[in-house]
Chains A and B, each alone.
Chain A
Amino acid sequence: MGGDAPGLRVDTVRALRDAGITALLAFGLFLPLVGFQTVTDVRNDLILVTRWPLLLAVVAVVGIGRLAYSLAVEPWLRQRALLPATPAPAWRVQAGKWFLPFAIGFVVAYPAIVLATAGFGRAVKWIDNFGIQVLIYVMLGWGLNIVVGLAGLLDLGYVAFYAVGAYSYALLAKTFGFSFWILLPLAGVLASFWGILLGFPVLRLRGDYLAIVTLAFGEIIRIVLINWVDLTNGYAGITGIPRPTFFGIPFNAEDDGFAAVFGLEFSPIYRTIFLYYLILALALLTAFVTVRLRRLPVGRAWEALREDEIACRSLGINTTNTKLTAFAMGAMFAGFAGSFFAARQGFISPDSFTFLESATILSIVVLGGMGSQIGVAIAAIAMIGGTEIMRELDFLKLIFGSTFDPTQYRMLLFGFAMVLIMIWRPRGLISTREPSVVLKERKIIGADLVKEGHG
């Protein structure tokens, strides 16, 4: 490429000017935010401290960053836009083929890997906080993906069904002593029943209106859980929820406990590993069923509904039923996840089912790319796993001094990452669509053609 082709020439003067303007703006913006600080002195008076070096550093970083962008990144981007689109290199195609088996192999082997690397003591933390936590959100993301990604119905109250599943398990297990394996499907059925119940009034709504009503529904469920103290014990939540057993063998230190029966030394790790494989199985079930459904008439009708509802109706599709099945299916998987959550925690309260939770699950779906299973899984790992890992930011203390509290910056970094990803990939990590049926050749459908649904 000729460096002095008119479109590609780097305009140093303009770059400097832009950098100057940006630095000036940064100065104006950060002067009150960073330049001044109020502190209380020994006599408890409020005094103003100036932090010129820090302000200067921030402004310099912004200005130099802008300069680098103009001089290096922009020309590179322009040059890349001029090049003809190259087909994916062979190694990438190969990697794509091996990705799925490798990923499944990894998650199956994960507890063993953790045990081998982190040792018995720390393994519980890594399997539980990291593995199980991520898998719950992968499953919730996949469940919501049916409603939002496939059927194109924006649901902001998904956590309600998670709550229904959790409370169903907690209450029925405590009151009647039913086992986890009976209550798991029952929780799914109850949640999908509520899904249909929510579905009816919102069927005629679209877009923003649908989003608002589903949001309200999520709040209603939470507020009922808070206020129906007789049943749910309100804010205090439900404690002592029976834990799942290994097909009848409890995970405890008794003589008939898991460790004793299998001749092992008692350790909480066995339960954790069991829970890990349980949620892994549930998540894989969700994925399997969704993949299957996509290739069935009902799944195609969901996608058609997302693409064009009027056209669906003109083809004799009962869109009411189609939407209701999408709500019911999505809710069912949330119900499964909810009952697992209750069984894993042993304690639930309305605090676990706030709007923030719905928002997190929705972000996972949006970030992953609506409709894409792998995208959603990656997004869940990045978002949930990422926030968990950021708890371990202790090394930052070495840089910023021991008073620095890294966990406070968790959400900030997280927000930054999210904005960056959405700039880089506005339609999510994997935004292309895979056809559900092929006549001759499988062609991936570009994101620009796939609709996002209208509500």
Chain B
Amino acid sequence: MAAADDIILRVEHLTMRFGWLVAVDDLSFTARQGDITALIGPNGAGKTTVFNCITGFYRPSEGRIALRHGDAIAWEWLEPLTNGGERSVKRPAGALYLLERMPEYLVTQQARVARTFQNIRLFPGMTVLENLLVAQHNRLMLASGYTLFGVLGFPSYAAAERAAIERAKAWLDRVDLTARADDAAGDLPYGAQRRLEIARAMCTEPVLLCLDEPAAGLNPRESAELNELLLAIRDQQRISILLIEHDMSVVMEISDHVVVLDYGVKIADGAPAAIRDNPKVIAAYLGVPDKDVANVEAEVGL
């Protein structure tokens, strides 16, 4: 278990039911500040559902999802916050958010959690640059005096927009899309769309970035570039990443910590090397029924 002082996200007893189907069952795990935490599992294991709960798209049936900004001291406020009715506590030293109490847009706007989608969701009819500006909506909205200053053409808004374009340009450079800034996002090839979606999420200036299968459909070269990008985001920006990934080589290469789900239940949690050798994980990935797991364990000599 990680020391409490560098934990950024705490998921506790998370359960999500759809009617009779239990998509996520009593899941608890933590993610550390500045880590890449991978969430893996076979198809239908409930990974995307966990993301949807964390990012506020689903309201969990049960459980608590807490996110911390700033000082580690913040975790001491967790119990009082849970018992009170508030969504968050904010102090000079830091802030604590109960994500399950927040609607999705506040999870991004206030708790600063950004996400991408398994099936890319860009604004296809808007240009690449426009996509990145929409991501900076809240900051620009404030600068435009909720539109009023903007309509009247105040210079303060023009300056804010220039800054937003600069930020977008910086991200375009990093994902190698500068040359296509004025093209429609829907015109980009698949790999570029994936990169743009990540850049767009980063333009919201998150503390936690949730990526749902970012390497899906990429060729090996693109996949390697993606790994580099994610490592750079982690190391240079000190942004924590939560990553859903099917490709085990990607997971092993870049993640610091792996959580394995199977049928909504956590079956393993630890360092990548340990996960790779975990017989339960192997059994889950090979599709062996639960009752045979003991046999498989015996076979691999556990």
- Which chain B residues lie closer than 8 Å to A308 at the CB level? 121-124
- Which chain B residues lie closer than 8 Å to A435 at the CB level? 126-127, 129-130, 182
The reply on B100 being an interface residue by CB < 8 A is no
Interchain nearest-CB distance for A11 vs B (Å): 38
Report the nearest A residue to B151, measured CB to CB.
A292
The reply on A104 being an interface residue by CB < 8 A is no
Report the bound CA distance from A310 to B57 in whole Å. Answer: 9
Report the nearest B residue to A312, measured CB to CB.
B134
The reply on B187 being an interface residue by CB < 8 A is yes
The reply on B141 being an interface residue by CB < 8 A is yes
The reply to whether B134 and A301 form a contact with Cβ atoms under 8 Å apart is yes
Report the bound CA distance from A454 to B133 in whole Å. Answer: 22
The reply on B135 being an interface residue by CB < 8 A is yes
The reply to whether B133 and A437 form a contact with Cβ atoms under 8 Å apart is yes
Report the bound CA distance from A303 to B106 in whole Å. Answer: 20
The reply on B233 being an interface residue by CB < 8 A is no
The reply to whether A292 and B150 form a contact with Cβ atoms under 8 Å apart is yes
Report the bound CA distance from A350 to B107 in whole Å. Answer: 47
Centre residue among A297, A318, A319, A436 by max chain B CB count within 10 A = A297
The reply to whether A307 and B137 form a contact with Cβ atoms under 8 Å apart is no
Report the bound CA distance from A199 to B115 in whole Å. Answer: 28
The reply to whether B150 and A304 form a contact with Cβ atoms under 8 Å apart is no
The reply to whether A300 and B133 form a contact with Cβ atoms under 8 Å apart is yes
The reply on A441 being an interface residue by CB < 8 A is yes
Report the bound CA distance from A214 to B206 in whole Å. Answer: 38
The reply on B49 being an interface residue by CB < 8 A is no
Q: How large is the interface on A (under 10, 10 to 19, 20 to 34, 35 or more residues)?
A: 35 or more
Report the bound CA distance from A435 to B233 in whole Å. Answer: 29
The reply on B190 being an interface residue by CB < 8 A is no
- Which chain A residues lie closer than 8 Å to B105 at the CB level? 313, 316-319
- Which chain B residues lie closer than 8 Å to A83 at the CB level? none
The reply to whether B144 and A303 form a contact with Cβ atoms under 8 Å apart is no
Q: How large is the interface on B (under 10, 10 to 19, 20 to 34, 35 or more residues)?
A: 35 or more
The reply to whether A440 and B130 form a contact with Cβ atoms under 8 Å apart is no
The reply on B216 being an interface residue by CB < 8 A is no
The reply to whether A443 and B147 form a contact with Cβ atoms under 8 Å apart is no
Of B114, B124, B144, which one neighbours A314 at CB under 8 angstroms? Answer: B114
The reply on A449 being an interface residue by CB < 8 A is yes
The reply on A439 being an interface residue by CB < 8 A is yes
Interchain nearest-CB distance for A331 vs B (Å): 16
The reply on B29 being an interface residue by CB < 8 A is no
The reply to whether B133 and A316 form a contact with Cβ atoms under 8 Å apart is no
The reply to whether B130 and A436 form a contact with Cβ atoms under 8 Å apart is yes
Report the bound CA distance from A307 to B106 in whole Å. Answer: 21
The reply on A315 being an interface residue by CB < 8 A is yes
Report the bound CA distance from A442 to B184 in whole Å. Answer: 11
Interchain nearest-CB distance for B161 vs A (Å): 8
The reply to whether A440 and B150 form a contact with Cβ atoms under 8 Å apart is no
Give per-residue flags for A290-331: 1 if the beta carbon is below 8 A from chain B beta carbons, else 0.
Answer: 001100111011011001101111111111000001000000
Centre residue among B125, B137, B161, B204 by max chain A CB count within 10 A = B125
- Which chain B residues lie closer than 8 Å to A437 at the CB level? 127, 129-130, 133, 161, 165
- Which chain B residues lie closer than 8 Å to A311 at the CB level? 117, 121-123
Of A314, A319, A433, which one neighbours B115 at CB under 8 angstroms? Answer: A314
The reply to whether B184 and A449 form a contact with Cβ atoms under 8 Å apart is yes
Interchain nearest-CB distance for B166 vs A (Å): 11
The reply to whether A313 and B104 form a contact with Cβ atoms under 8 Å apart is yes
Report the bound CA distance from A185 to B108 in whole Å. Answer: 37
Q: Which of A424-455 contact B (CB under 8 A)?
A: 433, 435-443, 445-446, 449-451
Report the bound CA distance from A263 to B242 in whole Å. Answer: 79
The reply on B237 being an interface residue by CB < 8 A is no
- Which chain B residues lie closer than 8 Å to A451 at the CB level? 124-125
Report the bound CA distance from A304 to B122 in whole Å. Answer: 9
Known: A297-B140, A435-B182. 11 other contacts (CB 8 A): A296-B147, A297-B147, A298-B144, A300-B133, A300-B134, A300-B137, A308-B121, A316-B105, A317-B105, A317-B138, A437-B127
**A/B interface sample: 25 pairs, CB < 8 A:** A292-B151, A293-B151, A297-B133, A300-B130, A300-B133, A301-B134, A303-B123, A307-B123, A307-B124, A308-B121, A310-B57, A314-B104, A314-B121, A315-B137, A318-B105, A325-B147, A433-B125, A435-B126, A435-B182, A437-B161, A437-B165, A439-B165, A443-B127, A445-B127, A450-B125
Interfacial residues, chain A to chain B (CB-CB below 8 A): 289, 292-293, 296-298, 300-301, 303-304, 307-308, 310-319, 325, 433, 435-443, 445-446, 449-451
Interfacial residues, chain B to chain A (CB-CB below 8 A): 55, 57, 104-109, 114-115, 117, 121-127, 129-130, 133-138, 140-141, 144, 146-147, 150-151, 153, 157, 161, 165, 169, 181-184, 186-187, 200-201, 204
Top 4 A-B pairs ranked by shortest CB distance? A450-B125, A316-B108, A316-B109, A307-B123
